[in-house]
Amino acid sequence: MNPRSLPVLRAVALMVIGVVLQTTVIGRITIFGVTANIVVVFSILAARWLEPRAALLLGFTSGMFLDLLGDTPVGLKALVLTVVVYSATRLGGSSIPLRSVAGVWPLSILAEVLLFVLVVLSGGGKLLQAAVVQQAAVGPVLNLALALLLFPVMSRLVVQQKSEPLV
C-alpha cells in the first residue's frame, strides 16, 4: 500500500466515526440549546495534515452524509464543509494558525453563517432565525473545546502526509 494513502484512509475512518458520533452521541448533548459539530472539527483539523484535494473531498463527502442522514437538502452541508475546508487550506499560513486548533473557532463561525445563508435561500430560514445568534455564538466555542480534545488524537492518527509536490 502506498504509504501516502494510509493517513487518508485513517482520516476517512475518523470521518465515518465522526458522522456516527455526531448523529448518535453529540447530537444528544446540548449546551444552551446548541450542539457541537464534531464533523466540522474533524474537517478543519484534517486540512492541517492532508493534501488539500483529499481534505476537500473528505469535507464534501462527510457533509453529504450529514445531509443524507438529516433533513437538510442534499448538498447543503456538503457545500458548507467544502468552503470551510477550502478556507482552512488556503488561508492558513505559517503566521496565521487557521489550520490548527485556534482556527476552528473562526471557521466554525464561517460554517454557521454560511449554513444560515444557504438555509434561508432554500426556504427554511424562519426556523433558523429564532436560534441563529445562540447557534453562532455558542456553537463555535463548543467546537473549539472539542478540537482541543481531538487534536492530540488526530495528530497521532493522521500523520503528516504533506511532502514534496507531485511534479
Partner 1 sequence: MARRNRRSNPTYTFIALVLISFVMMSFDINRSTEDGIGSRFRAGAAALFGPIQQAVDTVTDPIFGFVDSIASLATLRQQNDFLVQTNEELELRIADAARLEAENEQLRLLLDLEVDTSIEVGTEIADVIAFIDNVITIDKGLTDGVVVGNPVLNQAKAPIGIVTQATDNQATVTLLTHMTDAIRITTPEGVLGLITGSGRTDQLAFEVNQEAAMIPAGTFFTTAGGRFPRNLVIGHTDIDLVPEGDQITGFIIPEADFTRSLNFVVVLLYTENLDAEDEVASTPSTTIVTTVPTTEGG
Interacting residue ranges for partner 1, rule: CB under 8 A = 19-25, 27-28, 30, 33, 52-53, 56-57, 60, 65-66, 68-76, 78-79, 82-83, 86, 89-90, 118, 122-124, 126-131, 165-167
- The residue (of 25 and 159) whose beta carbon lies closer to partner 1 is 25
C-alpha–C-alpha distance, residues 108 and 138, integer Å: 10
Least distance (Å) from partner 1 to the CB of residue 133? 12
C-alpha–C-alpha distance, residues 143 and 141, integer Å: 5
Least distance (Å) from partner 1 to the CB of residue 86? 5
Backbone angles phi, psi at 31, to 5 degrees: -125, 120
- The residue (of 25 and 102) whose beta carbon lies closer to partner 1 is 25
Cell, residue 67: 445531509
H helices of the chain, in order, are 5-24, 38-49, 52-69, 76-91, 101-121, 125-129, 132-157
- The residue (of 106 and 124) whose beta carbon lies closer to partner 1 is 124
Least distance (Å) from partner 1 to the CB of residue 53? 5
Least distance (Å) from partner 1 to the CB of residue 89? 6
Identify the burial level of 51 via C-beta atoms within 10 angstroms of its C-beta, where 0-12 means exposed, 13-18 middle and 19 or more buried: middle
Q: Which of 82, 140, 77, 137 lies closest to 106, judged by CA?
A: 140
Least distance (Å) from partner 1 to the CB of residue 127? 4
Cell, residue 120: 434561508
- The residue (of 38 and 150) whose beta carbon lies closer to partner 1 is 38
